[in-house]
Amino acid sequence: MAKRESTLKNMVLSLSLIAMVASACLGFVYSVTAKPIEMAGLNKKLEAIRQVVPEFNNDPNAEMFRLPTGEGDSLDIYPAKRDGEIIGYAVNTYTNNGFSGYIGLMAGFKPDGTIINISVLSHKETPGLGTKMSDPQFSDQFKDKNPVSFSLKVKRDGGPVDAITAATISSRAFCDAVERAYNTLQKGGLK
């Protein structure tokens, strides 16, 4: 086999051919994996909803609606129903006030606004400190509390919430995200 001459034309042709083959392979892999990735995301969301509201027999994802927060964005609300009657709301809420920025939560509320449970969806907090917001020891102090009479503030700020040791900023951010969810439900009028 004869060696091709190293010219600009041959190099451009070779690199173009390699790029086309690589992009075709990438497109094929994307088309094969897109549906499973979408299903995994949906299952993760439904599992988070199951963790924060009582047992339901509707499809909260199909009945999802958005309510504006009043801060220029909106939150996804998932109504949980049993036999057609609303038994709770799962609110996909967030805050950007964490020590490392974004914290995403799924907060469950009864129709009267009482907190049922809270699940941490995503965060980038310090391992071993801020990550403790997922621990029941911290998150359970919100269960069965109504923000009307339970201030969503840490003790250092005059509230009743025991902050995570050495992670007060993460604790404040957690409270902020839950308060954002509650306030959005109240402004939107619980359906």
- pTM, to two decimals: 0.79
Phi-psi region of 158 (alpha: psi -120 to 50; beta: other; left: phi over 0): left
DSSP string, 86-114: EEEEEEEEEEEEETTEEEEEEEEE-TTS-
From the number of C-beta atoms within 10 Å of its C-beta (0-12, 13-18, 19+), residue 134 rates as middle
Side-chain-facing half-sphere of 175: CA atoms under 13 Å: 26
Domain extent listing, the chain: 52-188
**Measured distance CA(118)–CA(143) in Å, rounded:** 8
Interval 105-131 mean pLDDT: 88
For 44-95, what is each residue's pLDDT tens digit? 888 999 999 999 999 898 999 999 988 888 999 999 999 989 999 999 999 9
For 157-182, what is each residue's pLDDT tens digit? 999 998 888 888 989 999 999 999 99
Side-chain-facing half-sphere of 168: CA atoms under 13 Å: 7
